[in-house]
A and B are shown apart, each in its own frame.
Chain A
Amino acid sequence: MEKVAVVGVGETKFSGPQDKTEVELFAEAAMEAINESNLKPKDIKALFVGNVLGDFAEGQGMVQAFAAENIGCLYVPANRYEGACASASMAIREAFIWVASGFYDIVLAGGVERAATMGTGLATRTFAMFSDARYEYPSGITFPAVFAMLTHLYADTYGIPLEKLREQMARVSIQSYRHGSVNPQAQFYGKNSDMSVEKVLGSFVVCTPLTLHDCCPFSDGAAAVVLASEEVAKKLTDKPVYITGVGQSSCGPLCNQSDYLPRIRAREISSGQAYEMAGVTPEDIDICELHDCFSIASLIATESLGFFEFGKAGEAWERGEADIGGQVAINPSGGLKSKGHPIGATGAGQVYEIVKQLRGEVEPERQVEGAQTGMTDTLGGDGGTLVNMILQRGW
Chain B
Amino acid sequence: MEHKLLFKDYNEALKQNRLLGLKCQACGAITVPPKIVCRQCASPDMEIMELRGTGKIRTFTTVNVASEGREDEVPYTIVMVELDDGPWIMGNLDDIDPTQATMELIGRKVKMAHKVFPGDKYSAGEGARPLFSMVN
Contacts and interface: CB of A to CB of B under 8 A. Distances in A.
Nearest to B89: A255
B65 A254 contact: no
Given A125-B68, A255-B87, A140 B82 contact: no
A138 B128 contact: yes
Contacts of B58: 153, 156, 258
A55 to B, nearest CB: 11
Given A125-B69, A145-B61, A140 B76 contact: yes
Contacts of B80: 149, 153, 254-255, 258
Contacts of A205: 64
Interface stretch (A129-137, A171-179, A221-229): A129-137
Interface residues of B, number: 42
Contacts of A152: 59-61, 103, 106
Contacts of A256: 39, 87-88
Contacts of B60: 149, 152
Nearest to B115: A138
Interface in B52-76: 58-71, 73, 76
A144 interface: yes
Nearest to A128: B67
Nearest to B73: A140
The DSSP consensus for interface residues of chain A is: helix
Interface stretch (A19-27, A92-100, A116-124, A373-381): A116-124
Nearest to B81: A255
Given A121-B68, A133-B123, A156-B103, A141 B59 contact: no
Instruction: Say which size band chain A's interface belongs to.
Output: 35 or more
Contacts of A144: 63, 65
Contact of B78 (A120, A145, A155): A145
A122 B66 contact: no
Given A152-B103, A156-B106, A255-B89, A142 B59 contact: no
Interface of A: 120-122, 124-125, 128-129, 132-142, 144-145, 148-153, 155-156, 162, 204-210, 252-256, 258
Interface of B: 7, 11, 33, 39, 58-71, 73, 76, 78, 80, 82, 87-92, 101, 103, 106, 115-117, 120, 122-123, 127-130
Question: Which A-B residue pairs are the 8 nearest by beta carbons?
Answer: A148-B61, A121-B68, A138-B117, A125-B67, A138-B129, A258-B88, A153-B59, A138-B127
Given A135-B90, A149-B61, A153-B59, 11 more contacts: A124-B66, A134-B7, A139-B78, A141-B78, A142-B63, A142-B65, A152-B61, A152-B106, A206-B65, A207-B63, A256-B87
